[in-house]
């Protein structure tokens, strides 16, 4: 009887040992063969409002077994302390016109960018959202949805912030790391440039250059704002006149910074986008609400061109201002008359619709945004 019990126990122990070995083997096999992949969304946006380039979001996929920390380290191949990563927080962005039009996911992406606007000056800073978007990524088309939200958030961020002269958003990538283990899936999301590259705009290659340019811009702004009277109408007029008197229109469309406040306020050469961004930047710095509008316009030759102008809030109404067209190129020289200088200053929608047409979708297939409701009549 004892032998039978001993044999039974021995068999049971052998069975348990075999099951343990098999289960251990399965775990090791699953771990080794667990799936991990990256979906990388590149923002291809309206780098220049005045260009009619076709816009699209491109997607690249690659297989990888690396953790997100390893990816970020390899991204720069450096341990420079200035290239730190950022963990998303739940702080709210200050209220801005285009931000308020975003859904909750888009706002989270925007907040990460807004909270790290100064860090982006490094050209390589990584914004790490960790698993913030797991609930949306668990959906069947989650990666595509998040890619669309990302593009919309970047569009809103660049339209709300006119001082991003150093940033080329086309070099920013939304990276989605997907890892599958033991039947569960985890996601980690971060924004970064391509490996060993940066996301600087043309003309900038270091944070030192960006800081020098920013100091020059702020010096110009501070000197001008310190001369303002506090009368909103007079201040709106003074900044309008300052830009007209100090900027030359870039007829080559190729000058460094021509599409930004850097070209307008430092290089003194800009196209319509640079004029519009500079006007928004200076008015906002003076505490006056101003937004950038974009679309098409019929120029003096009767040709239709992509264009940018502004909406300004005065006496509880929004009015339109086109600083660029109030600074026309006079063929053969001559004096700019008062009629031409203020032809597009604080006008209503009825005046502007004769030769300006707003566009509310900044990229093909992108979100349709709204603009401020403009007064029908000109400011009196």
The answer, yes or no, to whether residue 199 has pLDDT greater than 90, is yes
User: Which stretches within 95-231 are classed as H helix?
Assistant: 104-115, 134-137, 142-160, 207-225
Please report the pLDDT score of residue 182 as a whole number.
Answer: 79
Contact 263, 274 (CB under 8 A): yes
Arithmetic mean of pLDDT over the chain: 82
Question: In terms of pLDDT, which residue wins out, 92 or 209?
Answer: 209
The share of the chain scoring above pLDDT 90, in percent, equals 64
Question: In terms of pLDDT, which residue wins out, 370 or 337?
Answer: 370
Please report the pLDDT score of residue 73 as a whole number.
Answer: 40
Please report the pLDDT score of residue 183 as a whole number.
Answer: 80
Beta-carbon count within 10 A of 77 CB = 8
Give CA separation, 233 vs 97, 121, 220, 327, in Å: 21, 34, 21, 19
The answer, yes or no, to whether residue 157 has pLDDT greater than 90, is yes
Q: Work out whether the CA dihedral 278, 281, 282, 284 comes out positive or negative.
A: positive
**CA–CA distance, 226 with 238 (Å, rounded to integer):** 12
**CA–CA distance, 261 with 79 (Å, rounded to integer):** 33
| Matching residue, tokens 């961020």 | 157
* Residues whose CB is less than 8 angstroms from the CB of residue 28 and which lie 6 or more positions away in sequence, other chains included: none
Please report the pLDDT score of residue 369 as a whole number.
Answer: 98
Q: Region 247-260: what's the mean pLDDT? A: 92
User: Which stretches within 82-183 are classed as H helix?
Assistant: 104-115, 134-137, 142-160
Tokens encoding 269 = 């050469």
Q: Region 286-310: what's the mean pLDDT? A: 92
Q: Region 12-17: what's the mean pLDDT? A: 68
**CA–CA distance, 380 with 321 (Å, rounded to integer):** 14
| Matching residue, tokens 């600074």 | 327
Tokens encoding 55 = 């816009």
Tell me the sheet residues that pair with 181: 184
**CA–CA distance, 235 with 241 (Å, rounded to integer):** 10
The answer, yes or no, to whether residue 255 has pLDDT greater than 80, is yes
Contact 122, 180 (CB under 8 A): no
Please report the pLDDT score of residue 62 as a whole number.
Answer: 30
The answer, yes or no, to whether residue 191 has pLDDT greater than 70, is yes
The answer, yes or no, to whether residue 280 has pLDDT greater than 70, is yes
User: Cα–Cα–Cα angle for 242, 248, 250, nearest 5°?
Assistant: 140
The answer, yes or no, to whether residue 133 has pLDDT greater than 70, is yes
Which range has the worst mean pLDDT, 17-31, 71-85, 133-147, 329-343? 71-85
In the chain the first and final C-alpha atoms are separated, in Å, by 112
Tokens encoding 318 = 């929004």
Eight-class DSSP state of 43: P
Q: What is the pLDDT of residues 88-131, one digit of tens each?
A: 344 444 559 999 999 999 999 999 999 999 999 999 999 999 99
**Domains of the chain by range and CATH?**
34-192 (no CATH), 207-358 (3.10.620.30)
Strand blocks (E) in the chain: 35-42, 58-63, 85-87, 126-130, 173-181, 184-192, 248-249, 269-270, 290-298, 304-314, 317-321, 356-358
């Amino acid at each position: 009887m004892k032998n039978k019990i001993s044999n039974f126990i021995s068999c049971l122990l052998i069975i348990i040992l075999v099951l343990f070995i098999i289960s251990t083997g399965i775990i090791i096999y699953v771990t080794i063969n667990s799936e991990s992949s990256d979906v990388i969304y590149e923002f291809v946006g309206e780098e220049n409002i005045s260009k009619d380039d076709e816009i699209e979001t491109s997607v690249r996929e690659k297989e990888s077994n690396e953790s997100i920390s390893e990816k970020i380290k390899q991204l720069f191949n450096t341990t420079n302390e200035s290239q730190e990563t950022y963990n998303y927080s739940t702080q709210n962005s200050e209220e801005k016109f285009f931000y308020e039009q975003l859904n909750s996911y888009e706002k989270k992406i925007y907040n990460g960018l807004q909270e790290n606007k100064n860090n982006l000056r490094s050209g390589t800073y990584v914004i790490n959202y960790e698993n913030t978007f797991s609930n949306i990524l668990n959906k069947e088309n989650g990666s595509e949805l998040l890619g669309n939200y990302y593009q919309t958030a970047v569009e809103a961020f660049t339209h709300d912030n006119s001082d991003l002269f150093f940033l080329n958003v086309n070099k920013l990538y939304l990276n989605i790391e997907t890892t599958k283990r033991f039947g569960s899936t985890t996601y980690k999301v971060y924004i970064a440039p391509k490996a060993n590259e940066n996301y600087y705009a043309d003309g900038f290659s270091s944070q030192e250059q960006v800081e020098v340019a920013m100091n020059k811009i702020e010096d110009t702004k501070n000197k001008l704002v310190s001369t303002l009277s506090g009368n909103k109408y007079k201040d709106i007029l003074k900044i309008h006149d300052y830009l007209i008197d100090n900027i030359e229109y870039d007829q080559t469309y190729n000058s460094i910074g021509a599409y930004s406040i850097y070209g307008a306020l430092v290089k003194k050469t800009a196209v319509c986008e640079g004029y519009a961004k500079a006007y928004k930047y200076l008015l906002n710095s003076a505490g006056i609400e101003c937004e950038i509008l974009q679309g098409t316009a019929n120029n003096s030759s009767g040709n239709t061109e992509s264009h940018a102008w502004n909406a300004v809030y005065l006496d509880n109404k929004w009015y339109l201002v086109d600083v660029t067209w109030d600074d026309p190129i006079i063929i053969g020289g001559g004096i700019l008359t008062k009629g031409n200088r203020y032809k597009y200053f604080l006008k209503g929608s009825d005046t502007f619709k004769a030769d300006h047409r707003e566009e509310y979708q900044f990229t093909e297939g992108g979100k349709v945004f709204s603009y401020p409701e403009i007064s029908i009549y000109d400011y009196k």
